[in-house]
Chains A and B, each alone.
Chain A
Amino acid sequence: MGDKKIEFGSYKEMPMCAMSVDDMLWNHTGSWRNVRPYYDPKTSPCRTGCPAGEDIQRYIFLVTEKHYKEGWETIMRSNPMPSVTGRVCFHPCMDKCTRGDYDQAVNIPAIERALGDMAFENYDWIVKTKASKKQKVAVVGGGPAGLSCAYYAAKLGYAVTIFEKEKALGGVLRWGIPEYRLPNDVLDKAVKVILDSGEIDVKTEQAIGRDFSLEDLKKKYDAVFIGIGLSRSRSLGIDGENMEGVEAGLEFLKSINSGKKVSQGKEVVVIGGGNTAMDVARTARRIGSNVTVVYRRTMNEMPAIRDEIEEAEREGVRFRFLATPASIARGKGGKLSVVFQEMQLGEPDESGRRRPVPVEGKTFTMDVDKLFTAIGEEAVLDGLDSVEQEWSLIKAASRFGDTNIDGVFAGGDVVTGAASVVEAVAAGRAAAEKIDRYFDGKEDPAPEEVRTVGFKDMNTAYFTHAKRNEVPRISPEEALSSFDEIYRGFDMALLHREADRCFSCGVCNYCDNCWIFCPDVAISRGENEYEINYDYCKGCLVCVTECPRSVISTREEGK
């Protein structure tokens, strides 16, 4: 029917009365078109914003479709520890979320965390990949970078051995992050998921430069990944620093996290403005101290995650800005008498933050029982003299973590300096993929061209304002009385309510608008996609306008 126009030769061929006998499909209205619409998925800004490049839109979409396992698998392709990052990440994805320009950004970490935790209850999701390749990979350091590298190398079919200096895996996640943010049992489960996903052997209490050398590893393994992070606290470099009562914040956190009883007196001062300072301050509050954080710049310049600063304030941590310790002496009653130099903000430095400069002659003194330093950490590079270094960090030759030594790779904080868990995870995966290419002699891939959509590309007529669903939490009073996890995660109802808020920017989520509004019935609804029939599409571009998420692009015909 319909592929040919009926032409009557004479009136005898006509029907008895003027009635239609055929359809109009012979009329290929596609010839009217001068602009062609075509499906052209783009990248959501959350994904561009995620250092690990998690396909956030996709896993949230899969949640809305109740395909939780596929959602979890989607995260695991770029990040093997969603339960961890869902709790501790600084979530740059959320800062980029299009919905932030509309009402409030989607609570992405809460969704990530929910999927990560779901795997613990659905252990059949975890598939152990056999070591199908002959090469062996050594990973030095069992923190986020090392665990990530081990996971992806194992998934690529290599047998992996992790060498960890401490008694248990986790690195900074275990020793540096307090339990109220990341409970040890969650970390244990997250580590177990990684170890159960491939042939990964673990050797604990094995430190490079102490128990073995890089050369030992080079002999036994075909590739070595170094992800030992930053394990030593920076010193203040002032008088009295070695006095009893002055302690590295990181050591304090480690003692608490490994269950040791620590007493540190009533009045505590913490020096620094990063996440470690916040963790130390809030941990000290939990064991009954009055805590003051002293930072040499102002709150705006603090490198700590904003939420952590707010939590610290809520828990009664006091802040004293624009001051830095100048000297420490033994004061009355055995207390520490700390003299602080007052500061002011000067010209911006290379980080773009305004540099603190001393205010001539203005000082003040605080009498405290304990002073914790949390002004940053540095790498301990024992046994790594042969690896090229820069600024007391390992120098990587490319973004994939290769070093000056053939077969030796590095990633995470030991390369970048203090960064984040998710960046370490990304570096671990990049190195694992690089190791795979190194064995096969393959070229590095060219950087992908990413087209990210933004708020201006959305048709907001199809969205309704809805507040972000926050993760349930215990009260600040309850939080202060124990090390219980503060945030309790989404139940299924909250998970779905929040997932439904996602705009699915740049990626089709089968809303049907293009199919519904096509005036020419030229769009068909297939099994998993829509298709435009260019025989009939007149190029009105209603589909382009009515697509809420900018999935359909156009190009001029004949070009």
Chain B
Amino acid sequence: MKPARIPEEEYMTSGHVACQGCGATQAMRFALKALGPKTALVIPACCWSVIDGPFPHSSLRVPLFHTAFEAAASTASGLKAGLEMRGDTETTVMAWAGDGGTFDIGIQSLSGAAERNEDIIYTCYDNEAYMNTGIQRSSSTPVGAWTTTTPVAHYKKRPKKKIIDIMAAHSIPYIATASVAFPEDFIRKFKKAKEIKGTRFIHVFAPCPTGWKLPPELSVAMARQAVTSKVFPLLEVTEHGKRWKVWKDFEPTPVRDYIKAQGRFRHLKDEEIKAIEEEVENNWQLLLAREQMSMNLPGLNKEDDDS
């Protein structure tokens, strides 16, 4: 056997109660492989507060603190402060929240922690709706999608909130997006985040076969296509929100294929899909322009350190 492509240590075990093909579990497994055993998690209400297992059981081999929906970032800030008071500066504290707990309900505490530059990693694993409670729309749900609160007749008309822009506006030291379809990149970013002090925000794309009306075997394929169709670009924002770096070294695939594969978009007509395609392309161009602009800022390194 060749050497493994990603760390072999496991900090998540079998027996968890996630649905078949759950992207959020892959995300957790990769993140912990990168961060290692000296990690403490803070999890607000979200799928993972269930996936982990019922009291007194846990499928994670690291400590996990369940907290209220709106409080992931503030609880993580407090946990980090508490550990430091006890002389533990080594443990990585990571808030691990869904898109509802990040984009909607937890955004106030996240914004506060980021503004204070608390020494925590905040990961949003984004499955684009409140999946745990039965697929209600969040402000992360993409335009065009069906959810139980945006039924087919009134599918979601507003675009997904640009959380990376919001976080970049907080001038925190490290922001990245990651996808479960690109495990090496995923793990590299979490390892990088671990070594940085201050608030680090990682936006993880984690498909939800149940909520997306998707055959579970396609969950990783969808995560991959989200990236290659530019729906979910892989990027890093460093230098306190100023340096933008977008990953472009892939063979592009059509947005249409990504949309067509998922039941939550089944009702969309051709012109609606076209509008989404245009929107994706516009956002991509804006991103590239932003990257280009950030290259010409005075006083910033032209070359990124490691990628």
| Chain A contact residues, CB within 8 Å of chain B | 2, 5-6, 8, 14-15, 18-29, 32, 65, 461, 464-465, 510-512, 515-517, 519-522, 525-528, 533, 535-536, 538-542, 544-546
Contact = CB atoms under 8 A, between A and B. Distances in A.
B219 interface: yes
Contacts of A2: 13, 15
Contacts of B209: 540
B182 to A, nearest CB: 11
Nearest to A23: B13
B57 A516 contact: no
B56 A19 contact: yes
A522 B25 CA distance: 12
A521 B57 contact: no
Contacts of A546: 220-221
Q: Is the interface of A mostly helix, strand, loop or mixed?
A: loop
A227 B153 CA distance: 78
B20 A538 contact: yes
9 closest cross-chain pairs (CB), A and B: A24-B15, A536-B14, A20-B58, A541-B217, A540-B21, A540-B20, A27-B15, A540-B216, A24-B59
B216 A20 contact: no
Nearest to A26: B15
A462 to B, nearest CB: 10
Nearest to B249: A464
A244 B191 CA distance: 83
B78 interface: no
B217 A23 contact: no
Contacts of B251: 464-465
A29 B55 contact: no
Contacts of A521: 10, 12-14, 29
Interface of B: 1-2, 4-6, 8, 10, 12-18, 20-23, 25-26, 29, 52-53, 55-59, 61, 64, 180, 183, 209, 216-221, 224, 228, 251
A15 B56 contact: yes
B14 A522 contact: yes
B56 A510 contact: no
Nearest to B228: A461
Q: Which of A533, A544, A545 has the most CB of B within 10 A?
A: A545
14 contacts: A8-B56, A18-B56, A24-B15, A26-B15, A27-B57, A461-B224, A519-B22, A519-B26, A521-B13, A528-B1, A540-B20, A541-B21, A542-B220, A546-B221
B1 A25 contact: no
Contacts of A27: 15-17, 53, 57
Contact of A542 (B17, B52, B217, B228): B217
Contact of B15 (A25, A461, A539, A542): A25
A540 B217 contact: yes
A543 to B, nearest CB: 8
Contacts of A527: 1
Nearest to A533: B14
Contacts of A540: 20-22, 209, 216-217, 219
B14 A545 contact: no
Contacts of A19: 56
Given A6-B57, A512-B6, A519-B26, A544 B14 contact: no
Given A23-B13, A27-B15, A535-B14, A510 B53 contact: no
Given A27-B17, A521-B10, A510 B26 contact: no
A552 B228 CA distance: 25
A471 B23 CA distance: 45
B218 A545 contact: yes
A522 B22 CA distance: 13
Given A19-B56, A24-B52, A546-B220, 9 more contacts: A20-B64, A23-B58, A29-B17, A461-B224, A510-B1, A516-B183, A519-B20, A541-B21, A542-B21
Contacts of B56: 6, 8, 14-15, 18-22
Given A14-B56, A27-B17, A545 B5 contact: no
Nearest to B33: A516
B58 A24 contact: yes
Given A20-B58, A32-B20, A535-B14, A545 B4 contact: no
A203 B53 CA distance: 79
B1 A519 contact: no
Contact of B18 (A6, A461, A519, A542): A519
